Amino acid sequence: MPQTPSSDLKHLLPSELDTGTVKQGQITFGNWRGDADVPEAQPPHALPPSERIGFAVMGLGRLTLGEILPAFLQCRLAKPVALISGRREKARSAGHAYGIGEDSLFTYDEIHKLADRPDIQAVYVVTPNALHASQVEALAVAGKHVL
């Protein structure tokens, strides 16, 4: 059982300005700066992982591996749940690094299988521009949103 500090030690505990309060499910902090200073922003609110938008990422080139997938690690509203690549071994390697299992790795000719995956709500297309039209059409037929 936690002990309550004696009254002579309470002045050593952090104030609510430092610990924050919970309002409507979000942690907020009061303004600790002076009246003339711009108040700092409240901490960002993240959705629980089970409620984030599930993305498949199509195309595993330099942009995806160097910027897009790493950015998903900091994302509060979305998460990568599948990868689509022209080379399965490349998808396996990237999937392993991001915790995406073998059953969530697809090749370009398997886009139609995404229709059976409700955890994939959207697809981030990161392939050469000349491929976009046919890929986006296939994704639309599979019922997926496209970025």
User: Tens digit of pLDDT per residue, the chain (147 long)?
Assistant: 556 556 677 677 777 767 777 877 777 777 777 778 787 777 777 888 899 999 999 999 999 999 999 999 999 999 999 999 999 999 999 999 999 999 999 999 999 999 999 999 999 999 999 999 999 999 999 999 999
Confirm whether 124 is domain-assigned. Answer: yes
* Structural domain span for residue 87: 49-146
CATH number at residue 70: 3.40.50.720
Does residue 4 sit within a domain?
no
Q: Let me know: does 113 contact 119? Beta carbons within 8 Å.
A: no
Tokens of 47: 């959705």
Residue 13 φ then ψ, to 5°: -80, 150
CB atoms within 10 A of CB 111: 22
CA distance 62 to 65: 5
Sign of CA dihedral 70, 72, 73, 74: positive
Domain presence at residue 26: no
When divided into structural domains, the chain yields a total of: 1
Domain assignment present for 119: yes
Q: How far apart are the first and last CA of the chain?
A: 51
Residue 133 included in any domain: yes
For residue 85, the surrounding DSSP H or E stretch is strand 78-85
Query: Buried (b) or exposed (e) across 16-31, using 16+ Cβ within 10 A?
Result: eeeeeeeeeeeeebee
Distance CA 92, CA 88 (A): 6
pLDDT of residue 112: 96
Q: Is 25 left (phi over 0), alpha (psi -120 to 50) or beta?
A: left
